[in-house]
Structure 1
């Protein structure tokens, strides 16, 4: 009996312990917070402060706002262009080349009699930004190397709709083109154009376009440099450099500032692989604002023409003219009877201002002159013989036939300072004065009067000249005719007289 009671007691205790264990197990499963298991959806890092999160949320919100502001204005352009290449069986060179690369022969057709050529359709893709609206007509700014002389253009809008595009016009020297399309949609957004003159290194920028066919892509970076020169096709632009990722297909798309304003048109990249390496270049929007109106009204850019050939003088020339501390462009030649010549600009003038704007370099002055309207009057400030002069010039339209007429280029050679190094190389007397004749151009007055490269000009119209500055001074005084006294192979002689 006693043994049965002990067994019953042990059983009750065991059951009690099991029940306790069951309760404990159920309790642990129902309360994860008390377990050693950690779930990803409940983990919050204490290392990231509220202040940091707030800052990053503000940055993220800013990115979203800028993207939302510009994306509806950016389009994708699908372009079909008829090109002609030589028959690969003719043995006249490799037949294939890539669509969309700037090329002087882009869009030009060969003579129909050329039996070695054949036509084919080249298709490509680029980007553009809507910059103007007139009624139901919208205008898209892009690159000329994107459109070429397109036969067919399809414009794909941000909302996915498409429209047939029409090539309004383009310009190869600036690598810009304008495409139009018709639409009655109400949600098409016109981009706001900013001021690229205000852009500085370090500014945050966004590049928008369709790189590699991925439409409506936004990348962010900063302005790495401004005023860059170079680029394909010997264009006359300066460029904004950025590390925002730009790839093939981005061409023609906008570079945007933090205000959602277009400050540039993405144009080319410097790359050893063909992909983005953080070296993207955009045409400053101020370079093309005036061009938009010209393309709409005329289908092309009508460049203003002054009739001056400009160079970036080297240090020796700048010192000889006493302008080494100045920024500007040297007028090395002036076309006879041109607006510049009529307005009083002469060879040797160092141009420092145009209509009150300081001249930074040759390319900038060429662009600014090109923007001047035919018939308008421009004020140039030049330094001649150490003194500033203001000259008024009536602008004419650029005529390629006149520009290529060498007989009108005055004087048609580049005078160079007789430095000690030049005297040594030419084995001249160390006391020899004058200027060295270099870079004579064919069919120019310099050839007509009998000058030869290597001549030393010692006098202009019988007035002795000791250096480049004195040479240009006397040349600018000439009114009706000019002749030179020169030293050639140890002999003194006078040239023929050139009459204006």
Structure 2
């Protein structure tokens, strides 16, 4: 078939018609879409609403921020990092003898005997520059930071380091004073008045927690007058929730004025890290100690010569001193200022120099701060009546305090309550005083008294209550003293002890 015939055939005509229709349809659709008005689209836009900070609130916040900056600027230069090295020596073990000699022979060098190996233990704490005398700067810290150190150095907040030495230390207050020499002019801390500290006050801790020097944390004073610190520490404490960690010990707790109100000392924590329970020694507890360290190399304490306890509810009820704050003189040292002044076992001390006594710990601290030779006035409750006693305070000496043979009578007793009665399975008819503790080598121990004994009589008279017990104990018309006690199923008398 010729080309003309192909182009004019019926099939070719239909094909062209379909092709033109398709092209026309696409063109018409495109034209309609291009001229149609687009539909409104529903688009969600994030609405930005700016709420400006109240200018009044901002002024207050910025003022507080400036106050904290001011405190940091003032305090950081007076708080140092205390670096210590404690050197301990241990005997080198000797391996002479079988099988050592069998395998290695006998050492020929006799110098190997009694050899010692040196161990160096590093520590980090904090300290406060509290005094300057010429080119000597004195830094206060904790005894547990620097008291046992063989080598001491301090690092200033600008990184400069100086060698330091121990001036004095005191275990009872956990304090130590170290010194370093410099001709440069460093600032000295301003010591505030910790008696004016109130719960809710701002509290700012400065130190080197975990060796991170010049760290500042902030909180409030959570409580004051806390007791029950580490064993042997006679201080009361300021409690704060400002973060305190290992390395903060010896550092400063300051108020919003930048005045030192406490020396950070310990934390209560199940993990060893800060949980908001930090404790600082009130600065008023250490002011006299600083002078004693510098002038005498140690802290001098006043001594009254009594053994004190807090009266629990059972003791208070028997002595008629419920709801009265104070401390009970359970025992007296023979020949002590207390005995010479007229204080007796069983006296409930409620005042010292016109200041109320809150508890045992507070009285121990207050007496310790008295000077030897000072006349102190005590108010006691004896047999239900108040009595004023003047005592000349002596200096506390460790050897005298440790002499239990002078502690009269040398035991602590308490009324029998339901708990004691159930523990000992005592009949309800049994009356007397339970012996809580007998002091080793004391008169009570010499007489043969034992812990757990029940005292029912003194010098042949009934003594089943505390008032009767103390009345007969203090009766000096009797030359001898002995006790009638119930021990198990047996009632017996102790040895007789000649009164001093």
TM-score bin, normalised by smaller chain? 0.7 to 0.9
- Secondary structure at 2:152 match in 1: strand
In structure 1, stretches of 5+ residues that fail to align are 1-35, 91-112
* 2:200 corresponds to: 202
| Contact persistence 2:457–2:485 (CA under 8 A) | no
- TM-score scaled by structure 1? 0.79
- Secondary structure at 2:438 match in 1: coil
| Contact persistence 1:486–1:495 (CA under 8 A) | no
Residues 60 and 418 (structure 1 numbering): CA distance in 2 closer, same or farther, change over 3 Å? closer
In structure 2, stretches of 5+ residues that fail to align are 1-44, 96-111
Spell out the pairing of 1:447-486 with structure 2 (5 A cutoff).
Answer: 447-453=445-451, 455-479=453-477, 481-484=479-482, 486=484
Residues in 1 aligned to 2:284 and 2:395: alpha-carbon distance in whole angstroms: 21
Q: Once the 2 structures are TM-superposed, how far is the Cα of residue 420 of structure 1 from its aligned partner?
A: 6.5
Query: In the alignment, which of 44, 62, 65 is matched to residue 60 of structure 1?
Result: 65
Residues 487 and 81 (structure 1 numbering): CA distance in 2 closer, same or farther, change over 3 Å? closer
Larger radius of gyration between Structure 1 and Structure 2: 2
- TM-score scaled by structure 2? 0.79
Spell out the pairing of 1:243-392 with structure 2 (5 A cutoff).
Answer: 243-392=241-390
Residues 114 and 301 (structure 1 numbering): CA distance in 2 closer, same or farther, change over 3 Å? farther
TM-superposition CA deviations, 1:412-446 (whole Å, max 9, x none):
12232245675677677756654344422332222
TM-superposition CA deviations, 1:170-192 (whole Å, max 9, x none):
11221111111222223x11111
Residues in 1 aligned to 2:208 and 2:457: alpha-carbon distance in whole angstroms: 63
Residues in 1 aligned to 2:434 and 2:140: alpha-carbon distance in whole angstroms: 48
Query: In the alignment, which of 89, 101, 109 is matched to residue 84 of structure 1?
Result: 89
Spell out the pairing of 1:103-122 with structure 2 (5 A cutoff).
Answer: 118-122=117-121
| Contact persistence 2:94–2:113 (CA under 8 A) | no
Q: Once the 2 structures are TM-superposed, how far is the Cα of residue 347 of structure 1 from its aligned partner?
A: 1.0
- Secondary structure at 2:127 match in 1: strand
Residues 434 and 85 (structure 1 numbering): CA distance in 2 closer, same or farther, change over 3 Å? same
**RMSD of aligned residue pairs (Cα, Å):** 2.9
How many pairs align? 437
Residues 46 and 157 (structure 1 numbering): CA distance in 2 closer, same or farther, change over 3 Å? same
- Secondary structure at 2:474 match in 1: helix
Residues 257 and 315 (structure 1 numbering): CA distance in 2 closer, same or farther, change over 3 Å? same
TM-superposition CA deviations, 1:342-386 (whole Å, max 9, x none):
111111111112222221121121112222222222222211111
Residues in 2 aligned to 1:491 and 1:423: alpha-carbon distance in whole angstroms: 17
Q: Once the 2 structures are TM-superposed, how far is the Cα of residue 126 of structure 1 from its aligned partner?
A: 1.5
| Contact persistence 1:449–1:483 (CA under 8 A) | no
* 1:498 corresponds to: 498
* 2:77 corresponds to: 72
* 1:6 corresponds to: none
Q: Once the 2 structures are TM-superposed, how far is the Cα of residue 461 of structure 1 from its aligned partner?
A: 4.1
Q: Once the 2 structures are TM-superposed, how far is the Cα of residue 253 of structure 1 from its aligned partner?
A: 0.8
| Contact persistence 2:449–2:494 (CA under 8 A) | no
Q: Between 138-147 and 480-489, report the one with greater CA deviation.
A: 480-489
